[in-house]
Structure formats: C-alpha cells, structure tokens
C-alpha cells in the first residue's frame, strides 16, 4: 500500500509534497531571522510538508503578550523575510499564521488601552483587565488589518496564509455565545455570530491569491459554547468564502480540559477533526493535536477523511520526525516543560529531549572532524541525551548504566500515573543509539581504569532520594519515592489498597506525582510539606494541575506548614501550622528531594588525565530539572 503521508496534496495552488506538516508554535525567537531560519530549515530537511509559523498579530492590539510579533510593524519584516528565504533555500514551503488575540490580549492592555472583544467580558486569567466592546469602526479596522496582513504575507514571500479562528482568540470569540453577547449584525444568533469570521475571510480572500487555510476550533471544550453543528456550519461558510483548507484545533486557552498534555491519549481529537472533514467534503482538512509521530499520522490518515496532519511539539523533539515510517524519531513526552511553559511567559522555546531545538546555529548538527571515544556514565535524561547528540555527530559512544534499565529519573517518571509517554522518550533514544552503533551497557559501574581508556568522560550519574532522619517505629512501612514508584505499575488496575493509609512527606512535583500514582493503592492519602508554598509550586503550570486534580478528586489531604514529629503504632504525630495533629497511617513515603549521586572517583579520573565533566543531578540536585540536565549534557560533550 502507498504510504498515505507521502502522497502529495493540493492546497489551493500549492502542491504540498507530504501530508505531515509542522503546526503553528510561538518560538520566542521570531525577531532573530537567522535563528528562526535555521530552526525551520532542519524541519524542512526532516520532511515537513509545510511549515506553519507561530501566530503573528495583525495589529498591535491583537498581540496576546507584549512580545508577540506585530505583523503590521515593519520592524519584523527583515527577520521574517530571512526565515522565509531559509525555508525556500531548503526546498520547503511556509505558511504564515495570522491572528488577533481579542480579549486574550495582554499586550498593550491596561485601563487606558484595553483589549478589544465582541463583548466586554474578561477571561479567567485577565487579572482585572476588562476588554472594551468593539464598535463598528473597530470591527472594520480589524477586518482590514487581516486583509492588509495577507497582502503583506505575499510581499514577504510566504507561500500560504492561515487565519487563526480558534483557541478562543478574537474570531473564535465572535462565534461563541459565551463571549459574544451582542444583539446587532455581529451577534444575537448563530448566523450573526459567525458573520465576523466570514467577513474576515472574504476580505483576506479578496486581498491575496495565496492558498488560504482557516484554523477553527472543532470543539471549544467550554461548556455552553458553540455547538458541533455550528462549528461544522462555520467550516462550510468559510469554504464558501474561499478557504482552500480548514485546519482543526480543539480547546480554548481557558478551557479546563487537557488537550495536549501527556495524560491525553494519542489521537484523542481525531474524531472531532474527522467530523469537520465530513462536513466539508472535497475541501482539504488538516487534523492536529496528540498525533505524535509518523506512524500515528499514517494511521490517522488511513482511518479518517483528513487530508493532512499538523504536528507541532514532535518537531521540537526531533526535527526529522517526518522522515518516514522506518525512522525512529526521538519521542516528544508531552511534558510541556521547555516548550509551552516557556512560551506562556514569552521565553524562547526549546525541548527537554532535544536541547538543540531553537539553538541550531549555536549547536550545529554536523559531524565532527575528529571523532572521540566518549564514555557516558549514567543513562538518565542528561546521559542519554548527551550520548545521542555525541553519537549523531560521529563520536564513538559507550554508555554505562549501573542498574538493569536505562532512563534514571526519567524511567521513574514514566512509572507515574499517565506518564507512560516518558518511557517512549527513553526507548527512542536507546533505539537510535543502537542504530548508530553506540555501545550500551547495563549493570556496570565503570572504574577509573576502565574510564581511563576513553578520550573523554561525561559523568551523568544522577541523584538518589534524600533520606531524612525519621522518628518512626516499626508499625508502618517506610519507602523513598523511587521505591514507591517501582512498586506502583503505570497501570494500577486491580492493585487494591495494599498500602493502606499513606502519608507522603514532601510538597514538590515528585511528591505530588507519587501521591497521584499511589491513589489506586491507598485507602487514604495525606501529603505534608514544610512552609507555605503551594504543592508542586515551581513545576510546569500546564501540567501540574493534572496530578493535583487527581489528588483533590480523591479527597487527599494536602497540608502546608506541616512536619512529621514521630510515628507510633500506626499514628503519625504532626505539627500543622503550630498545632498538634494526629493521623492514622500504614505507609510513609519520603519524597523530600534528592542528593547528587556521583558514582565515579573524580579525583582519580583527574589524576589519570582524562578530561571529564559532571552534569545534571550529579552536579546539582537542588531542584530536579530535566530540561537543565539534558541541555547541560549536550553542551558539556561539545566542550569536552
């Protein structure tokens, strides 16, 4: 059978060579033309049929954060044109995504220059900023701004335009009864609410002959919002107005349903995408969200009416993800830590499993002139990622893992409830390393003599759980977080409440993850943390609410300013905010941080004259941070 991804398709006047596209992502380095161009170039070379840029605002009021690209400003012309040139030089195609944040704008904002919206209704995270209801002039100005932006896209050399009418941005706001309470020609019933989208599209269509796609929200995931029938009707109307393709997204930024996080099953939204595709037969429809690799894209195309699939984060994890079905791409683990979380705060994005993402010019991909024999000690995220980068560049890599399994802390994370995808990250690194001929050894802690044989050594031995002194009698079981996770399989069905009443000491991300994972094996759950910080504070804002939500749903107690004094005869004596308290307990789990585990004699290595670097948790275990660890590992090997 022909590979459904590799069948070219027609997008307006454009023949697109692959059905796997790189979906829209704010990179945070759009103002750096060479950097953006190099980032895109690798993805084109990796097989992306079409690059879709991050959303660029059609006017300054339409920026979501002050740092967003204002496409109407000539200041960004040169870097954006340079990025387009890079794509074309690599033989690729690039569409610019145009948007207006509407009431989501936190750009100019403020009381004297508020965001504009169909109706003066603030959003959940508006922090007191009240939008102003758009008048007839505003509406006309924004429609013209979209048209002007499309003309400008042509001048800058883009191959196509995508209008963002999704994610709860301005056009989407006009469509929804939640945000459009008008009763004039722009609101009052479904037909009038959809009019703004149609007028924008008509104006853009008149302004440019470039192929035109519209990204709509297949399901807003907001109770009381636009119905599926109204969304399908919108798709039909947009096609009538001249859209060459419909791209389907899901969820508003303020929706409480996870859409792309690790806990969302792969392919979860294909049903929504396919429903829209069925509503506009004969028009190209692009599906997206939680399709993670080439094979999943093949399956999605085979089992739906979709024309193409846009994937975004997997292109960060591996720029070559679209290379073909036989190629094992480094897997995106859905953590959001270096991509969406950074983008939320206007910081440049990268990737936990691929620290080169966004740094393609600084950390080039080419092969080294003089390959080294490199030993990597430890196969946690830092070790695996560094070994992979080194092997990709031609070094001869030997990876030593003291336990029987690869992955270190990432393997433990893969045992956390719903985090199975983390295991895919490990297995993809291991498969690629093997494919490149690296030597991978388990059950070995190399001594100095063995390491002295190498040209350079990377020490990435990771961490061990901190073991605080506890005053605990023999009535309860005491586990550290690692042993607790080893106990709990990722799929906890049928385990029963064998841990009884569980008390977890610790309030960080690991404690919360362990708590959520052990819920299925406990009859009650209490977490205690010193200090007044929130539980899981400082961890990913886009994912921490998943385990916290599980804990709240199970009525777990989360106690701040709490210390365990002692345990006697199944009673834990606590001090909570200065008050004595007792709870019944059968199992105590310690998840109160980690300490470096340096399983290599560094002095002896130095005496032997072998260049080495210590990275990741082995260097600093204060705050386990896999993004820092992988970046450190890759950079250290390049400096060795």
Does the footprint of ligand SF4 cover residue 339 (CB under 6 A)?
A: yes
# of chain residues touching ligand SF4 (CB under 6 A): 14
Does the footprint of ligand SF4 cover residue 80 (CB under 6 A)?
A: no
**Other Cβ atoms within 10 Å of 78 Cβ, number:** 12
Torsion region of 496: left, alpha or beta (phi above 0 gives left; psi -120 to 50 gives alpha): left
Does the footprint of ligand SF4 cover residue 316 (CB under 6 A)?
A: yes
Query: Which of 413/590 has CB closer to ligand SF4?
Result: 413
- Scan for tokens 């340079």, then name that residue: 82
Query: Which of 168/381 has CB closer to ligand SF4?
Result: 381
Q: φ and ψ at 249, to 5 degrees?
A: -115, 175
User: Which of residues 22, 338, 390, 615 is near ligand SF4 by CB under 6 A?
Assistant: 338
Query: Which of 205/635 has CB closer to ligand SF4?
Result: 635
Chain mean position to CA 342: 9
261 in Cβ contact with 542 (< 8 Å): yes
Q: How far is CA 601 from CA 403, 612, 614, 615, 619, in A?
A: 18, 11, 11, 15, 14
CA dihedral 493, 494, 495, 496 (to 10 degrees): 120
Does the footprint of ligand SF4 cover residue 353 (CB under 6 A)?
A: yes
Query: Which of 313/323 has CB closer to ligand SF4?
Result: 313
**Other Cβ atoms within 10 Å of 63 Cβ, number:** 26
Does the footprint of ligand SF4 cover residue 411 (CB under 6 A)?
A: no
Does the footprint of ligand SF4 cover residue 332 (CB under 6 A)?
A: yes
Q: Interacting stretch for ligand SF4, rule CB under 6 A, among 189-197, 330-338, 371-379, 517-525? A: 330-338
Q: Interacting stretch for ligand SF4, rule CB under 6 A, among 46-54, 161-169, 277-285, 333-341? A: 333-341
Question: How far, in Å, CA of 501 to CA of 128, rounded?
Answer: 42
17 in Cβ contact with 45 (< 8 Å): no
Question: How far, in Å, CA of 203 to CA of 238, rounded?
Answer: 12
Q: Interacting stretch for ligand SF4, rule CB under 6 A, among 94-102, 217-225, 309-317, 452-460? A: 309-317
Does the footprint of ligand SF4 cover residue 385 (CB under 6 A)?
A: no
Does the footprint of ligand SF4 cover residue 21 (CB under 6 A)?
A: no
User: Which of residues 297, 352, 374, 433 is near ligand SF4 by CB under 6 A?
Assistant: 352
Does the footprint of ligand SF4 cover residue 62 (CB under 6 A)?
A: no
* Smallest separation (angstroms) from ligand SF4 to the CB of 335: 4
The SS3 assignment for 332 reads coil
Does the footprint of ligand SF4 cover residue 413 (CB under 6 A)?
A: no
Which tokens is 171 given? 């056009």
Does the footprint of ligand SF4 cover residue 416 (CB under 6 A)?
A: no
User: Which of residues 100, 313, 417, 619 is near ligand SF4 by CB under 6 A?
Assistant: 313
Does the footprint of ligand SF4 cover residue 22 (CB under 6 A)?
A: no
Which tokens is 33 given? 């033309």
Cα torsion 533, 534, 539, 541: sign: negative
Q: How far is CA 169 from CA 53, 152, 180, in A?
A: 16, 21, 12
Query: Which of 292/574 has CB closer to ligand SF4?
Result: 292
The SS3 assignment for 511 reads helix
Does the footprint of ligand SF4 cover residue 310 (CB under 6 A)?
A: no
Does the footprint of ligand SF4 cover residue 46 (CB under 6 A)?
A: no
Question: How far, in Å, CA of 44 to CA of 39, rounded?
Answer: 9
Q: Interacting stretch for ligand SF4, rule CB under 6 A, among 74-82, 194-202, 312-320, 361-369? A: 312-320
Q: Interacting stretch for ligand SF4, rule CB under 6 A, among 207-215, 327-335, 573-581, 587-595? A: 327-335
**Other Cβ atoms within 10 Å of 155 Cβ, number:** 9
Does the footprint of ligand SF4 cover residue 117 (CB under 6 A)?
A: no
Pairing of strands 20-22, 477-480: unpaired
Q: What crossing angle do the helices spanning 626-639 and 381-392 adopt, rounded to 10°?
A: 40
Does the footprint of ligand SF4 cover residue 264 (CB under 6 A)?
A: no
User: Which of residues 274, 337, 401, 480 is near ligand SF4 by CB under 6 A?
Assistant: 337
User: Which of residues 231, 300, 333, 438 is near ligand SF4 by CB under 6 A?
Assistant: 333
DSSP bridge partners of 628: none
Binding positions for ligand SF4, rule: CB under 6 A: 313, 316-317, 332-339, 351-353
């Amino acid at each position: 059978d022909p590979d459904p991804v590799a069948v070219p398709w027609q997008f307006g006047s454009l023949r697109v060579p692959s059905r796997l596209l790189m979906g829209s992502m704010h990179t945070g380095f759009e103002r750096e033309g060479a950097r953006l161009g190099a980032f895109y170039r690798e993805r084109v070379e990796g097989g992306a049929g079409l690059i879709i840029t991050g959303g660029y605002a059609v006017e300054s009021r339409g920026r979501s954060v002050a740092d967003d690209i204002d496409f109407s400003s000539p200041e960004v012309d040169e870097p954006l044109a340079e990025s387009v040139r890079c794509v074309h030089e690599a033989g690729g195609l690039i569409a610019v995504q145009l948007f207006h944040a509407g009431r989501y704008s936190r750009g100019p904002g403020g009381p004297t220059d508020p965001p504009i919206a169909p109706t003066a209704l603030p959003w959940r995270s508006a922090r007191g900023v009240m939008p102003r209801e758009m008048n007839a002039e505003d509406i006309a100005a924004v429609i013209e701004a979209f048209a002007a932006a499309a003309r400008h896209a042509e001048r800058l050399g883009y191959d196509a335009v995508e209008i963002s009418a999704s994610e709860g941005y301005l056009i989407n706001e006009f469509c929804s009864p939640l945000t459009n309470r008008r009763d004039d020609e722009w609101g009052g019933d479904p037909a009038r609410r959809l009019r703004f989208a149609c007028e924008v599209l008509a104006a853009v269509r008149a302004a440019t002959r470039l192929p035109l796609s519209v990204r709509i929200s297949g399901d807003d995931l907001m109770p009381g919002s636009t119905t599926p029938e109204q969304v399908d009707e919108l798709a039909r109307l947009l096609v009538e107005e001249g859209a060459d393709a419909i791209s389907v997204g899901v969820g508003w930024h303020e929706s409480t349903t996870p859409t792309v996080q690790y806990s969302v099953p792969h392919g979860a939204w294909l049903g929504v995408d396919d429903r829209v595709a069925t509503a506009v037969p004969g028009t190209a429809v692009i599906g997206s969200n939680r399709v993670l690799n080439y094979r999943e894209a093949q399956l999605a195309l085979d089992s739906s009416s979709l024309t193409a699939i846009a994937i975004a984060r997997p292109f960060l994890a591996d720029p070559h993800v679209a290379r073909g079905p036989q190629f094992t791409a480094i897997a995106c683990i859905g953590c959001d830590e270096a991509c969406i979380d950074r983008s939320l705060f206007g910081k440049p994005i990268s990737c936990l499993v691929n620290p080169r993402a966004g740094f393609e010019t600084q950390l080039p991909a080419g092969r080294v002139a003089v390959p080294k024999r490199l030993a990597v000690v430890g196969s946690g995220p830092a070790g695996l990622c560094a070994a992979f980068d080194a092997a990709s560049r031609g070094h001869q890599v030997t990876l030593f893992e003291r336990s029987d399994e690869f992955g270190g802390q990432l393997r433990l994370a893969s045992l956390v409830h719903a985090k199975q995808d983390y295991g895919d990250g490990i297995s993809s690194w291991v498969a690629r390393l093997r494919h490149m001929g690296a030597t991978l050894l388990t059950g070995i802690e190399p001594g100095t003599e063995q390491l002295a044989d190498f040209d350079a050594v990377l020490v990435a031995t990771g961490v061990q759980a901190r073991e605080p002194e506890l005053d605990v009698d023999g009535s309860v079981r005491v586990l550290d977080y690692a042993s607790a996770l080893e106990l709990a399989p990722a799929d906890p069905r049928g385990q029963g409440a064998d841990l009884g009443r569980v008390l977890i000491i610790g309030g960080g991300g690991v404690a919360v993850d362990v708590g959520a994972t052990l819920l299925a094996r406990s009859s009650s759950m209490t977490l205690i943390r010193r200090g007044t910080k929130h539980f899981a504070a400082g961890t990913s804002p886009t994912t921490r609410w998943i385990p916290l939500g599980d804990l709240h749903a199970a009525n777990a107690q989360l106690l701040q300013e709490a210390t365990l004094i002692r345990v006697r005869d199944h009673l834990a004596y606590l001090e909570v905010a200065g008050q004595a308290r007792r709870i019944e307990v059968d199992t105590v789990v310690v998840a109160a941080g980690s300490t470096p585990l340096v399983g290599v004699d560094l002095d002896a290595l130095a005496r032997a004259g072998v260049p080495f670097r210590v990275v990741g948790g082995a260097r600093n275990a204060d705050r386990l941070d896999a993004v820092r660890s992988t970046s450190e590992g890759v950079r250290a090997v390049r400096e060795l």
